[in-house]
Structure 1
Amino acid sequence: MTSSAPNADFRDLVAFDALEDEKITPFSLDGTPVVVIRDGEQVHAFAGKCPHKDAPLEQGAFCRTAKGSVLVCPWHKAVFDAVDGSLVEPLALDPLPQYPVQIVDGRVLVGLRPMQRQAPQKRQETESVLLLGAGAAAVSAAVTLRAEGFAGTISMVSEEKDLPYDRTALSKTVLVSETEKAHAPPVREESFYAERGIRRIRGRVREFDPQTRTAELEDGTRLTADHVLIATGAVTRKPDIPGVDMQGVYTLHREADAERIAALLNPDLAVTIVGAGFIGLEAASSLRQRGVGVTIISDTEIPMEKQFGREIGIRLRQLHEENGVAFVSDARVMEIYSDESKDGVATASGVELDDGTRLPAAFVLLGVGVTPATGYVLGLERDECGAIVVNGQMRVMAGGDTCSNVYAAGDASAIIHDGAPRRIEHWRHAEIQGRIAALAMMGHDTPNVPMPWFWTQQFGKKIELLGWGESFDNVALEGDIRGFRFLATYLKDGRPVALAGAGRATDMARAAVDFEGFLAEKA
């Protein structure tokens, strides 16, 4: 029924008839975890853990889609082809190892060694790609280009000295770590870039001209290429209040930010966080786990109500309060004040609110959002926040038309959805966009941009959200919100527009690849 390696040793794992169709079944292959999937009369075997973060794939989902069967990771929604394990969508950047299968006398036998993948045919040897940025979108593009056989030159420009890293770890795990371990994991090791001939250039882009595809760095270096991807992400937004640039006021957007904060922490500190969005709440969770006292200043009573709705927002606030986080709601910070100086430099001592209240703090952390880092780009269509508007292939727009061989992805971009530009500030979406841009550069057919998915983790509780950020007027809830085991369907004029879940990994995995189909099955 399926191919096998000619000289591989095999192990008898299960009777064919014992496998339930479309079910992911885990096995141990001489101590190595594998999953076996029966797809009609076919049986396929794969590594049992996702190559991204070792998620147990039996907790994910097998789905039949219009383009074929797929396997979806339960944790971060990487999507793999369920026939050969090839990568369909990130977060993973590698294919899923596939094991050979034989069916003999009604028994399923699986080979002990993964099957070798055929190397892609080299192509476009004389062409060049310039990646402006080194975040999720740029790295995904670089990985995809080489994985698909692009043999030309690839250059990646970044302001940061460190290897491209997993930015999602900054608020989720880095702050929890002791100082010597407070580092975000690299997306790829140094050897990856060297072995694949990806040139890393440290510098800040002063100007980019899409018409000539030429970037000028601050040191005067000029770079041009046949294909250019704008993926410089975003910069932290700072509120227009006195004292915001004072020493002792921090943001959390880069690894250096997290390292500086982690080095300060001890249980005797009391910290003020301005903003109750994703960064503010995740940072509060991490800081409390280090024993630090935390007060959150927010202009709304219910955190993340716009994203999750009132009931889930209330539960999130309760979760934080149960863990010792204090909230000051419906308040605005008017000033960050200083009562002391270090080495003659004024240092933040706390915040003053609009009612005159002064709240002392060892330091102040700002979590009030980001702004697309696109000021250096000449021309091109922008959304109201300055993000570069792109079509479904990530091609940039100029005067209503696409601009030849120039792309944008990640936080710097806004993709047209339902007739309007949408900026999605999430890691998985950025990786997907970078992958699509790379496929377009190579002339491949590009997949449709999937519905954006992201997650937040706070005090060990994970909530996933699937949607385009559309407004909603009703929320249908099922399950136990108190125990963080629920599914929430968000509706606008009776039409489902988003889905949130906690403790429902398989459901969210299925919905991530077939939103409408999942809802139809559930109805």
Structure 2
Amino acid sequence: MDPREAERSFHDVASLDELKEGEMKPVTVAGKSLVLIRHGGHVIALGGKCPHKGAPMEKGAACHSPDHGDVVVCPWHKAVFSQATGKVVEPVAFAPLPRYPAKVIEGRVLVRPTPEAVPEPERRGEGETVLIIGGGAAAASAVYTLREEGFAGPITMVGSEPELPYDRTTLSKTLLLGDPDRARAPLLLPQDYYDDRQVITRHARVTSFDPATHTAHLPGGDTLSADHVLLVPGGRPRMPSDIPGLELEGVLELYTQAQAQTIARVVTPEQAVVLIGGGLICLEVASALRQKGVGVTIITRQAVPMEAQFGREIGLRLLKLQEDNGVAFISDCAAKRVYADPARPGQAAGVELEDGMKLPCAHVLVAAGIIPNVDFVSGDLPRTPAGALIVDRNMRVHLPDALRERREREGRRGGIYAAGDASSLEEEGRFWQSGHWRPAEVEGRIAAQTMLKHPPRTVPVPWYWTQQFGKKIEYLGWGLKFDNVVVEGSLPNFDFMAYCQFEGRIVALISSGRDKAMSRAVVDFAGFVHEAGRELAHILF
């Protein structure tokens, strides 16, 4: 481009005095949405819409991360981007945030609406191979991280579902409301991404995996092996063993897209459904089915839903939200059995409670937790009581001494990693299992960075959210126990920040309607709670 033409291509978009330090100012340049960030007399211009779902970035946060420097954070799902390059530094996005040339002349901010090129990564790992067993969020995150950070060796991903990794969060929300013949969860990465970057994708269920040889066996006798193996097979719904009748037709479960499509197809507005559970997925399914017009009753052992995770006050607010929208709760009597229709012995007709009361319904949906899908992994790899593979902070699976020594004798390189529902790491003396979408992607990214021999890094404090009847609640924490919850704001209006404390120390944050604050906390939990602790001390004492 001619230098004079390039100079003319800059647009005058704002006065420098309009920009405040630490805030993002939205502007539109040549029809493009941008945000401006001021650093003294210098200005950075970035894309104004998150590439993940189009969230307005100005509602998030421009802040400093101890791990990544100056960043911007998406308000909706907490994707984190470098201000310096626009590159993804934490999930959930799988594309960079465009960065635009900007300069300040005589107090005016000028921006050229042509994105800067993203620097090409240095090629590495050309003589190494990667096998990913599983096809969910952690798998997609690992693939994206490996290729975007320069891994040049072969990658093979084997998923048990017929689809490529998709947005599983939509299953308990929007997918149940759509046309079952057309509703599809969005893919996390399109087919072209895998094709263009020479990532081999296969759809098969691995029957066994030998940690000693890094060999996976597939139906029909095929085998796959690699230097680095990432185990991300997800989980399967936990079916209570003490409730007879769960094998009947009409008893449903939800973990895959196919199961969500089945629920959307067979559950119709004139029907009644009984849900057995009480956790977030159960509550989200109740919300979706009620919005569809279905009659919903939840049988749960918790008198106050999510009390153990969110505290009593927030749990009661969720209970009221559900009941105000027509969901009935039974918590004083457990399910005894699912009984059959006398006219159709194989068909579920309702749920009988322990006190003998019967709840007729067209379908029973069980949402009682997840079992890690790691039965196919052989050997004595350490596992939690729940069955998940134990990993360290780099997502490496702990290997028994004998196996580790054998691999060293044989000169084998690489490692075995696990992430998502199949893995668990220790935090303050207890095993923590993600069970949520963003943490799974974070873990997949860390595993990929370990394969790339990046220096050990801090595991971000886990964040997740729930959406029920149009209301969103966000959680940030390790699920540690707490003995007090201080709520600032309005619970009835879903506009609050809650501080979960244990012996005076803030161990978790729960919020609604506080996008900027939670976005800052996601990238610097310790710094945020330090400041919050000082403010709480002033308020309480």
Pairwise TM-score range, normalised by the shorter structure: over 0.9
What corresponds to 2:407 in structure 1? none
2:314 maps to a residue whose letter is: I
Against the structure 1 CA distance between its residues 254 and 405, is the aligned structure 2 distance closer, same or farther, given a 3 Å change threshold? same
What corresponds to 1:434 in structure 2? 444
Task: Indicate the SS of the match to 2:526.
Answer: helix
Within 5 A, what are the aligned runs for 1:298-447?
298-340=300-342, 346-378=346-378, 379-399=380-400, 404-447=414-457
Q: Is the 1:475–1:488 Cα contact (8 Å) retained in structure 2? A: yes
Q: Is the 2:85–2:118 Cα contact (8 Å) retained in structure 1? A: no
Distance 1:188 1:79 in 2: 18
Within 5 A, what are the aligned runs for 1:235-314?
235-240=236-241, 241-314=243-316
What corresponds to 2:235 in structure 1? 234
The farther-off stretch of 484-493 and 204-213 is: 204-213
**Structure 1 position 402, deviation (Å):** 9.8
Distance 1:122 1:285 in 2: 47
* Paired residue total: 518
Task: Indicate the SS of the match to 1:200.
Answer: strand
Q: Is the 2:23–2:37 Cα contact (8 Å) retained in structure 1? A: yes
**Structure 1 position 446, deviation (Å):** 4.1
Distance 2:43 2:316 in 1: 46
Distance 2:342 2:54 in 1: 48
**Structure 1 position 267, deviation (Å):** 1.7
- Structure 2, unmatched stretches of 5+, are 405-413, 536-541
What corresponds to 2:503 in structure 1? 493
**Structure 1 position 400, deviation (Å):** 6.6
Within 5 A, what are the aligned runs for 1:459-474?
459-474=469-484
Task: Indicate the SS of the match to 1:349.
Answer: strand
**Structure 1 position 303, deviation (Å):** 0.6
**Structure 1 position 269, deviation (Å):** 0.7
Distance 2:389 2:511 in 1: 31
Distance 2:47 2:402 in 1: 44
CA RMSD of aligned residues (A): 1.7
**Structure 1 position 419, deviation (Å):** 4.1
What corresponds to 2:120 in structure 1? 119
**Structure 1 position 6, deviation (Å):** 5.3
Q: Is the 2:42–2:104 Cα contact (8 Å) retained in structure 1? A: no
**TM-score, normalising length from structure 2?**
0.93
Q: Deviations over 1:44-95 (max 9, x none)?
A: 0100011111110000011123341111111111111122212110011222
Q: Deviations over 1:84-124 (max 9, x none)?
A: 21211001122211011121222110111111112223222
What corresponds to 2:27 in structure 1? 27
Against the structure 1 CA distance between its residues 8 and 394, is the aligned structure 2 distance closer, same or farther, given a 3 Å change threshold? farther
Against the structure 1 CA distance between its residues 402 and 49, is the aligned structure 2 distance closer, same or farther, given a 3 Å change threshold? farther
2:95 aligned with 1:94: yes
Distance 1:208 1:8 in 2: 61
Distance 2:450 2:14 in 1: 42
Against the structure 1 CA distance between its residues 402 and 285, is the aligned structure 2 distance closer, same or farther, given a 3 Å change threshold? farther
What corresponds to 1:82 in structure 2? 83
**Structure 1 position 39, deviation (Å):** 2.0
**TM-score, normalising length from structure 1?**
0.96
1:216 maps to a residue whose letter is: H
2:276 maps to a residue whose letter is: V
1:305 maps to a residue whose letter is: E
Task: Indicate the SS of the match to 1:205.
Answer: coil
Distance 1:341 1:498 in 2: 52
**Structure 1 position 5, deviation (Å):** 11
- Structure 1, unmatched stretches of 5+, are none
The farther-off stretch of 481-490 and 440-449 is: 440-449
Distance 2:227 2:420 in 1: 20
Against the structure 1 CA distance between its residues 253 and 341, is the aligned structure 2 distance closer, same or farther, given a 3 Å change threshold? farther
Distance 1:373 1:331 in 2: 31
What corresponds to 2:410 in structure 1? none
1:95 maps to a residue whose letter is: P
Q: Is the 1:8–1:113 Cα contact (8 Å) retained in structure 2? A: no
What corresponds to 1:137 in structure 2? 138
1:141 maps to a residue whose letter is: A
1:424 maps to a residue whose letter is: S
2:227 maps to a residue whose letter is: D
Task: Indicate the SS of the match to 1:168.
Answer: helix
1:516 maps to a residue whose letter is: A
Distance 1:159 1:299 in 2: 33
Distance 1:384 1:31 in 2: 55
What corresponds to 2:52 in structure 1? 52
Q: Deviations over 1:220-243 (max 9, x none)?
A: 211100110000011110011211
The farther-off stretch of 448-457 and 111-120 is: 111-120
Task: Indicate the SS of the match to 2:171.
Answer: helix
Distance 1:317 1:8 in 2: 59
Q: Deviations over 1:415-455 (max 9, x none)?
A: 12224431121110110110111111111224311100000
Q: Is the 1:5–1:115 Cα contact (8 Å) retained in structure 2? A: no
Q: Deviations over 1:346-365 (max 9, x none)?
A: 11111111111110111000
Runs of 4+ in 1 over 4 A off after TM superposition: 4-8, 400-404
Distance 1:341 1:472 in 2: 51
